[in-house]
Structure 1
Amino acid sequence: MARPEDGAAPPVFRVESSRVLALETGILSPIHFVVVTIGSAGDLFPFMAMALALRAAGHRVSFLAPVQHAPFVEGSGLDFIGLPADEAVLHDPDLWHPTRGFGVVWRATRPGMARFNAFVDALPGDERLVLLVHPLALPEADLCRARRPDLKVAAAYLAPQNLPTVHDPLLVGPWRVPSWVPFSARRALWRWGARTFIDPVALPEVNAARTARGLPPMASLLSDLFGLADLSLTLFPEWFAPTPPDWPQPLARAGFPLFDPKPDAPLAPELLRFLDAGPAPVVFTHGTGNFQASAYFRDACAAVRQLGLRAILLTPQRDQVPADLPTSSLWQAYVPLRRLLPQVAALAHHGGIGTTAEALRAGTPQLVVPLAHDQFDNAARVTSLGVGASLRADRVNAARLAGKLTQLTDIAVARQCAAVKARFEGSDPMRTVVERLEALAGEGGHVVEQARATAGGNGPQ
C-alpha cells in the first residue's frame, strides 16, 4: 500500500475569504461534520478530500476511517479517529468474487461501525451535526439519528454501481442484462439478488440493532438502505453516469474528487530513467488491495513481450511480479497516477473508480480488467465512452490481453480520450459538495421524508 512521504503537505482547498471571516466572527454558524468511510485507499481518498474541503470552509470536522490509513491522514490537520479493521480480509479469496465479495466487505466493516455509533452518541447535544458517510455506514448513521433526530445524514457514492437502478447499463456481477428485458423482470432480478446475496449477510445484524433503538426492521437492505440519507451525493459527473429516475432523492451531482495525499511527490530516479529510455510504456495495475494478482502480472508480461512493448507493473506486493523481469519492464510499488499517466501509452487496471477517473482526466486509453464490486459497471461506462476496452479478469490470458491492448491504438480511441479529458477543465467538485452539505445543515425537518412524499420512494422496488 502506498505511504505518503514524511512532511508532505496536504492539498489546499481554497474558499472565499469573506466567507471564512463570517464564520470566524459568528455571522455564520460552523457545523460539526462527522465524515466516515470504510475500505481501501480508494475509498479513503475521496472522503478525505471532502473532509479537507469542509475544514477549509471553516467547519469542525471529525474524520473516521480504518486505522491502517493513519499514515495517509497524519499531517493533514484532520481530527482522525481510527476505526478497527482486520487487514486479513485482503487475503480472503472471496473478496474479489463477483457475488460473495459483498459479504467479505460487510463483515470487515462492522467493528468499525460500532465505534462510529459510540463516537456520535458521546458528542454534545447542542451541536449542529451532519454525518457524511460511506453508503455501508448508513445503517449506523440511522441509529445515531434515532437518538439525535436533529442531526442530518448525507451519503456519498463513489461509483454509479453503488446506487441500484433498473435502467441501463444493468449488470449483475459480470453479466449484463440485455436492454430489451422489461422493467418488471429487472425489478424481480434486483429482489432476487438482494434475497440471495445481500440480506442473509446483513439484515439479521442490522435489524437487531434497529430493534434495540426502537426503529422498525428493514424488509430488505437493498430497497431500504438508499432511503435513509437526507441527501445523496455522487462523486462522479453526469456525463459519466446520467441520473436515472429511480436513484434516491434529493440527489446532488458532483464530479470526481481526484485526490492524492502527495500530489507533488517526485518520481523515483529509476522510473525517470526507464521513461527516458524508450517508447511510452503500458502501465499494469490491479489495485493496491489485491493480493491475488500474480497470474495477471505474469500474463501482462507475456502480452507486452508478444507485442514488443514496454511495461510498468504497479503493485505494493513485489512477490506478485515475475522475479526475472526483462529490461523492457519495470516494477514499482507506487507511483502517483496523475504524474505518471501523461507519459504512458495506455493503462490496464482493475476498474476501481479512482483509477478509472485518473485515466479519464489524463486522456489515457484504458483496458479495464474487472474482478468484482463496481468494477464491471465502470468498465461498461469506459467502453461506452469510447475511451478504452474491457476484459473480464477470469478470461485473462496473454493472447487476449495483447488483442485488447492493440484495440487501444485506434485513432478513434485517442480522439475520444482527448474529448473526455477536456470535460475536466474548470471542474470544482468540492465546491459543490461543501455548498450542498451546508444547505443540508440549514434545512428543517427530516429531508428524506419530504422527498419520499413527493418522489414516492427510492430505489428499485
Structure 2
Amino acid sequence: MVALMGAGTGACPYENNNGFSIISVMKPQRWLFVSAPLWGHLDYGGYLELAVALARRGHRVLWASGPMVQEAVVRRGLPFVPLPSAGWRWLPPLRPELPPAERQQRRRERALDAWLHPEEHARALRALGSWIEAWRPDGIVAEPFAGVAAWAAERYDLPLVVVGFPAGHWPVPRTLEAQEDLRRAQDRLAEVASALGLAGRYWRADPFPQITSPLAHIVFFPAAWFSDLEAIDPQNRFFGGLPRGRAPDLQRGPRPRALITLGSTFTEDPAFFISAARAVQRLGGEPVVVLGRSPFAPGLREAVRRALPDVPLHDWVDYDRIFPTLDLVIHHGGMATTHKALVYGVPQLIVPHAGEQHLQARRAERAGVGRALRPAEATPDRWREAVADLLKEDRYREQARRWAAQMARAGGPEEAADLFEGGLGI
C-alpha cells in the first residue's frame, strides 16, 4: 500500500484551536475527498472541516461529488470536481398519501437502489477514475456512502481513509424483515463487485455492506457513543467536537424552544413536522421548523403551512447560532444533527426514518441524552408525552451537558488533521 505521508522540509503555518501559530514540516500531500451529492454528507461532525484544516496547512485538497453540493464546498475555499455521477441514484419522491408504515418500508427498499446500484457505480468509477489518473492523489478520503471511493482506491491501489462511521462488528438486526433487507444488500454488493471486476477489498458485508479502511476510520464521536458495537477495530480514531461560541443576541428565552428538522434532503414527511410542532405548541413552547432545501419534497412547504399557519418555516438555519438557544431538538437521527446536539448539550427526540438513524436513536436513549419514537407509533398522545418528558425532566439536560464536556475533551477536526500530518500512525 502506498505510504500516506512522506518526509519533507516544506513548511506551512496554520492556527490550532487555541489560536497559536504552528508550523507543519510535513511534505504537502494530495488528498482526494469524495462524498455522495447530499448536503448532510459533507458533515458527519467534521468531514468538510477536516478537508479545510488540511488545505489550511498547505496540503492539496480536491473535493469530488455531484454538482448539488458544489456551492457549499467552494464556499469553504476548496477546489471542486463536479462528477456526472458520484454513485448515488436520485429516485422520484414517494407519494404523499402513503401511510407511515408503508412509507418507512418503501424508504428502506429505495435506499439500496439509491446508493448501491451496479450501473451507477460503474458510471461513477469511470468519472472519478479519469480525475485520479490526471491529478494523481496520494490518497482518498471518503464518507460512508461514497462507495465509488472504495472501488477507486482498490482499482488504483491508493490508501483509503473513511470519515464518519467506525469500523467494527455491528449488531445483527433481530427482526426477520431487517434480516431480509441485509441479505438483499449483501447480494447487491456482490453484484456490483462482479460488474466492476473488483474484489471489494475496501468493503465488508457483515452484517451489512459498508466501505472500510484497514488504515484509518476517523469518527467525530467518542468511542463510548458506539456502545452497541460488539467489537471496535483498532484502526478507529475517535474525536468529538467543539462549540463555536454562544451568540450574544440569541440567548435562551422564557419559552422552551425546539428545533424540528429532517435534515436537508430526505424531508418528504409533512406529518413529522406538523405533529412535532403541535406537540411543542401544546406545551407552551416555540417550534423552530426547518424544512430543508430538497428538490425531492414537492408540496412540503404548502402542506406544513396549511396545518401550521402561525409557525415560521425555515429552509435552513445556522446550527452554531441556534443550538445555544435550544431546549430540545426533534430530528431523524442524522449524524450531523446528532453530533451538534451532543456538542451543545441539547436533549434530543429522535424519530428515525431509515438506515443508521435507528442506531442513533438507540444510542441517544442509552446515553441518557434523549428518547426515540418510531414514526409508525407516533400518535398525538405519544408525541406530547415524549416532548413533555424531555422538556421537564432535568436528567436529560444534565446528561447532555456531560456528553458536551466529553465531546470537547475529545477534540475535533484540527486534531484529526494532526493524524494526517503524523502519517496516521504508520
What TM-score do the two structures reach when normalised by structure 2?
A: 0.78
Q: 1:221 to 1:286 in 2, by over 3 A?
A: same
One-letter identity of the residue aligned with 1:42? G
> Counterpart of 1:130?
139
CA contact (8 A) 1:62 1:79 kept: yes
2:127 alignment partner in structure 1: 115
Hey, what's the Cα distance between the residues in 2 that align with 1:319 and 1:266? 34
Q: Could you tell me how far 1:386 is from its partner in structure 2? A: 1.0
SS in 1 for 2:339: helix
Choose 131-140 or 337-346, whichever is displaced more: 131-140
Aligned to 1:7: none
The corresponding residue for 2:256 is: 280
By how many angstroms is 1:389 displaced? 0.9
Paired with 1:287 and 1:139, the residues of 2 have a C-alpha distance of 23
1:344-369 residue CA offsets vs partner (Å, 9 max, x unmatched): 32111111011011111222121111
Q: Say how many residue pairs are matched.
A: 388
Which residue of 1 is the match for residue 362 of structure 2?
Answer: 380
Match of 1:89 among 91, 94, 98: 91
SS in 2 for 1:240: helix
Query: How far apart are the structure 2 equivalents of 1:59 and 1:359?
Result: 31
Query: Quick check: 417-426 or 133-142, which moved more?
Result: 133-142
Match of residue 231 from structure 1: 216
Query: Matches of 1:80 and 1:166 in 2, distance apart?
Result: 34
Task: Choose 372-381 or 290-299, whichever is displaced more.
Answer: 290-299
Q: Tell me, in whole angstroms, the C-alpha distance in 2 between the residues paired with 1:73 and 1:422.
A: 29
Residue 285 of structure 1 aligns with an amino acid whose one-letter code is T
Q: Which residue of 2 aligns with 1:458?
A: none
Match of 2:404, SS state, is: helix
CA contact (8 A) 1:117 1:144 kept: no
* Contact 1:368/1:388, CA 8 A, preserved across alignment: yes
Whether the 8 Å contact between 2:240 and 2:411 is mirrored in structure 1 is yes
Cα distance in structure 1, aligned partners of 2:168 and 2:107: 19
Amino acid at match of 1:165: H
Name the counterpart of 1:153: 160
SS in 2 for 1:357: helix
Inter-CA distance 442–304: structure 2 relative to 1 (3 Å threshold): closer
Q: Distance in 2 between matches of 1:266 and 1:142?
A: 47
Residues 1:253 and 1:422: Cα distance change in structure 2 (over 3 Å): closer
CA deviation profile, 1:382-434 (whole Å, cap 9, x unmatched)? 11111111101222232211011111121222221222222233443223322
Partner of 1:296: 272
C-alpha distance in structure 1 between counterparts of 2:149 and 2:33, whole Å:
13
Structure 1: tracts of 5 or more residues without a match = 1-11, 23-27, 178-188, 444-461
Please tell me whether residue 321 in structure 1 is matched to residue 335 in structure 2. Answer: no
In structure 1, C-alpha distance between the alignment counterparts of 2:264 and 2:145, rounded to whole Å: 21
Distance 1:296 1:50, change over 3 A: same
**Segment drifting more, 348-357 vs 229-238:** 229-238
Cα shift readout 1:144-182 (whole Å, capped 9, x = no counterpart): 4444x4x321112x245xx56255xx546xx699xxxxx
Checking the alignment, whether the CA contact within 8 Å between 1:36 and 1:47 is kept in structure 2 is: no
| Equivalent position amino acid for 2:133 in 1 | D
Counterpart of 1:84 in 2: which secondary structure? coil
CA apart distance, 1:227: 5.4
Question: Structure 1 residue aligned with 2:397, among 389, 414, 436?
Answer: 414
Question: Alignment RMSD, CA only?
Answer: 3.7
Aligned with 1:207 (options 194, 219, 234): 194
User: Deviation string for 1:54-81 (max 9, x for gaps)?
Assistant: 1122211111122111121223221111
Work out the CA distance in 1 between the residues paired with 2:64 and 2:247. 25
Instruction: Please give the alpha-carbon distance, in whole angstroms, between the structure 2 residues aligned to 1:176 and 1:365.
Output: 32
Q: Deviations over 1:431-460 (max 9, x none)?
A: 3322323444784xxxxxxxxxxxxxxxxx
1:381 match: secondary structure: helix
Q: In structure 2, how many angstroms separate the alpha carbons of the residues matched to 1:279 and 1:341?
A: 15
Decide whether aligned partners of structure 1 residues 435 and 210 sit closer, same or farther in structure 2, where only a CA change above 3 A counts. Answer: farther
The residue number in structure 2 matching 1:450 is none
Deviates more, 1:101-110 or 1:55-64: 101-110
**Secondary structure class of the residue paired with 1:321:** helix
CA contact (8 A) 1:91 1:291 kept: no
Aligned to 1:59: 59
User: Following the alignment from structure 1 to structure 2, what is the Cα–Cα distance between the partners of residues 37 and 166?
Assistant: 23
Instruction: Could you tell me which runs of 5 or more consecutive residues in structure 2 were left unpaired when the two chains were aligned.
Output: 1-12, 96-102, 293-299
Contact 1:350–1:369 under 8 Å retained in 2 = yes
Q: Determine the structure 1 residue equivalent to 2:295.
A: none
Q: CA distance change for structure 1 residues 134 and 80 in 2, over 3 Å: closer, same or farther? A: same
Give the one of 390, 394, 405 matched to 2:376. 394
Q: Distance in 2 between matches of 1:351 and 1:219?
A: 24
Are the equivalent residues in 1 in contact too, given 2:291–2:314 (CA < 8 A)? yes
